[in-house]
Chain A
Amino acid sequence: MWIKDRYMWIAFVLPGLLLLILVLGFPAITSILYSVKAEQAGTYTLAHYNYLLKDPFFMTTFWNTAIFVFASVATHMILGLAVAMVLNSAIPARPLFRLIALLPWVVPDVVAGIIWKWMFNPIYGAVNDVLLKVGLINTSVEWLSNPKLAMFSVILVNLWRGFPFVMLILLAGLQAIPPHLYEAASIDGASKPQMFFHITIPGLRKMIVVALALDTVWEVRRFGLIQAMTQGGPGILTEVLSTYTYKQYFQFFRFEYASSVAVVMTIVLLLVSLPYIWMISQEE
């Protein structure tokens, strides 16, 4: 054997490591360097970060992102768990319903955004049409133009778009819970809520943490849906960090500032992921 066994792990790790450095490391380092690049070639500055702290649009965008992510993840967890439990029970045509439940996840972000923008259209949109016909509203609602409804509408669509991902993870978790636990609890006279809180939730704990962490990361990065539906408007009511970064980079050509926003976004994501990493390490 030309490689000694004790060094064999290097041969296995090296290709993956090189790929990671190339695909993730290089862009990340380039972004960090861009974020501290001064106008004068070869010099570096923290001015972009300083400006970021004073930029009122950035601060609003930051809070918009927090609201969007919190609401999206929370609703994904509730709906995802509910649908997962239904699809885990003995319902007729279960494979078909599982497939249907997954469909929103298959639709690309931008396509979903465009479709829902048309569905919310105050003149032609199906949403108003249905609500008017069933008598829930008297006049057409401006879902994406009303300042009180714009963020709600985007979150609503994101609920539809994103819950299957959480559902899929939780469904896998539910299937891993041994059925005899429920049988034993039932013999002991446990009620359905008691079984839910004392068997299902503890059994899903690890999966819930995984779903929470991954969904949070996905939602912070969510771009196509919002860009296609509102482009951050009206005003900046639905502007989030991903659309703001895109705008700074590709519309305003402020590469350095866009990179500083992206770096902050990454730091926030890392902080969000820390509890997940900690919990996983505890499990191990």
Chain B
Amino acid sequence: MRKLLTIAICAVALLVLCSFTAATAAQVTLRFSDWHLTEDVWNKSLNEAMAVFHKQHPNIKVVLEPVSYKEKETKYTVESEAGRAPDVFHVHAFSLPMFFGKGYAKDLTPFIKKEGPGFLDAWYPLPNKLMEYNGKMHAMPGDYMTMVLFYNTEMFKAAGLDPNKPPKTWKEFLSYAKKLTRDTDGDGKVDQWGFGTVGAKSPGFSMRFGPFLWSFGADYLTPDMKKSALDSRKAREAFTFFVELYTKYKVVPPGLTAMNPQEVRTQFAQKKVAMILGSGWTPPIVNKINPDLNAFEVLKCAPAPMKTKPATAIWLSSWVMSPNTKHPQEAWELMKFITSKDSELKWFVDNRVTSARKDVSGVAPEILNDKFASVMASQLPYGMVEPQIKQWPEIMDTFTTSVQEAIVGMKTPQKALAEADERINAILAR
């Protein structure tokens, strides 16, 4: 009897041990990295979402890895080269060609196939296309927004402008900007400017220059992306117009070439500039910089002004799975969760960013009834994307260098643009 009891106890103990070991083995830890984790509102939102994900997938523990907006490419490059990138991470769409080319993104096709036909139909076709490498999905689309013109209605009224009639063309825009450039305290010096924009070498520059170039009917590269398309009358007009806002009309505050997006938003929040180009992130950030402005009430937005055709820049982010992940299936579950309809709607409600999902941005009443998001969503058909080629960051840096040289008067706009054209062709021919 005692022998039997001993055997039974041993068997139970073994079973308990086995089940414990199995449970421990099933617990998977994923590393998730996103620059949004460094931003207060987004951080709260992502933490809430991760709690929901953990409830749905108790066997998956997600470790959040914040990274600054500026450092994300550096971090992911270094870690990918070392074979220890986060399992899932968030990057700009324009970084994708480099990441794809270097093999930093796992092919998601097998997972998508398993989800069944029509899985990708929930997303707009353009973002889906941009996630492809060699015809296969290597990332999932994230935030998808257009750049629009934000303006301060109180400053409009003070300058005698109707806040319900924002400028529709660049000609009107210039006339508005001139009226909004004023000496408000009567000391004889201009202390308020019509338009604030980015002039520093920052990814934010191309997002804000694109609406100028494209709406003038020009483009950076030829359709086959083999040559520069800047040697054209339309490109010269757009380039000169942009530069002269600063050099000739002086409707942009001083120090343009050192201004990055956050500094421009600060100028806007402090009522130093009356109009800026921005997107979904603009109202919450401006509100945070200066809560006294009452940004959600005072600000309005309108489609970016146009010259010959409506056109604006598109902001698109993407979610990437590292090829080094040891838990691809769990990483896919996480990617699916953060790009799900519910999550994408949460990102909008909490953070005001619209989604690359049609079934969110195209139909959600929260978006369609929002005074900012509705304008952004209306511009999606006119949205243009920067060329998705691996040379693009270098091309954009070269182009920004030329813009800066023209802005500070080192070269005429024509000469600076001609040099940019020549240098870009050299980069593409290399």
Interface set of A (CB-CB < 8 Å, partner B): 51, 117, 120-124, 139-140, 142, 144-147, 229-236, 247, 249-254
* A145 touches which of B73, B77, B256, B390 (Cβ 8 Å): B256
* A250 touches which of B74, B272, B405 (Cβ 8 Å): B74
Q: Contact mask B185-212 → A, CB, 8 Å, 1/0?
A: 0000100000000011110000000000
Question: Known pairs A124-B270, A233-B404. 18 more at Cβ < 8 A?
Answer: A117-B258, A140-B254, A145-B254, A145-B407, A147-B408, A147-B410, A231-B201, A231-B202, A233-B257, A235-B410, A236-B401, A247-B397, A249-B77, A251-B393, A252-B391, A253-B77, A253-B98, A253-B101
Contact A142 B255 (CB under 8 A): yes
Interface set of B (CB-CB < 8 Å, partner A): 73-74, 77, 98, 101-102, 189, 199-202, 253-258, 263, 267, 270, 272, 390-391, 393-394, 397, 400-402, 404-405, 407-410, 430
Contact A122 B410 (CB under 8 A): no
Taking the closest CB of chain B, its distance from the CB of A243, in whole angstroms, is 10
Chain B residue with Cβ nearest A138: B189
Contact B189 A144 (CB under 8 A): no
Contact B253 A122 (CB under 8 A): yes
Taken together as a complex, chains A and B put the C-alpha atoms of A253 and B258 apart, in Å, by 24
**A230 contact set on B, CB distance < 8 A:** 258
Indicate whether A145 sits within 8 Å of B74 (C-beta atoms), given known contacts A231-B200, A252-B393, A253-B98: no
Taken together as a complex, chains A and B put the C-alpha atoms of A252 and B77 apart, in Å, by 11
Contact B394 A252 (CB under 8 A): yes
Contact A123 B272 (CB under 8 A): yes
Taking the closest CB of chain A, its distance from the CB of B271, in whole angstroms, is 11
Contact B189 A145 (CB under 8 A): no
Taken together as a complex, chains A and B put the C-alpha atoms of A179 and B359 apart, in Å, by 83
Chain A residue with Cβ nearest B76: A250
Contact B201 A253 (CB under 8 A): no
**A139 contact set on B, CB distance < 8 A:** 189
Q: Considering residues B199, B201, B263, which has the most beta carbons from chain A within 10 angstroms of its beta carbon? A: B201
Q: Considering residues A124, A139, A252, which has the most beta carbons from chain B within 10 angstroms of its beta carbon? A: A252
Contact B258 A233 (CB under 8 A): yes
Taking the closest CB of chain B, its distance from the CB of A134, in whole angstroms, is 17
**A147 contact set on B, CB distance < 8 A:** 408-410
Taken together as a complex, chains A and B put the C-alpha atoms of A154 and B410 apart, in Å, by 19
Chain B residue with Cβ nearest A228: B70
**B401 contact set on A, CB distance < 8 A:** 233, 235-236
Chain A residue with Cβ nearest B395: A252
Chain A residue with Cβ nearest B267: A123
Chain A residue with Cβ nearest B253: A123
Taken together as a complex, chains A and B put the C-alpha atoms of A250 and B91 apart, in Å, by 14
Q: Considering residues B101, B258, B394, B402, which has the most beta carbons from chain A within 10 angstroms of its beta carbon? A: B258
Taking the closest CB of chain A, its distance from the CB of B190, in whole angstroms, is 10
Contact A122 B255 (CB under 8 A): yes
Indicate whether A235 sits within 8 Å of B404 (C-beta atoms), given known contacts A145-B258, A251-B393, A253-B390: yes
Taken together as a complex, chains A and B put the C-alpha atoms of A283 and B410 apart, in Å, by 49
Contact B408 A146 (CB under 8 A): yes
Chain B residue with Cβ nearest A254: B394
Contact A234 B255 (CB under 8 A): no
26 contacts between A and B (CB under 8 A): A51-B430, A121-B263, A122-B253, A123-B272, A140-B254, A145-B199, A145-B407, A145-B408, A229-B258, A231-B202, A232-B201, A233-B200, A233-B258, A234-B257, A234-B404, A235-B401, A235-B402, A235-B404, A250-B73, A250-B77, A251-B394, A251-B397, A252-B391, A252-B394, A253-B101, A253-B102
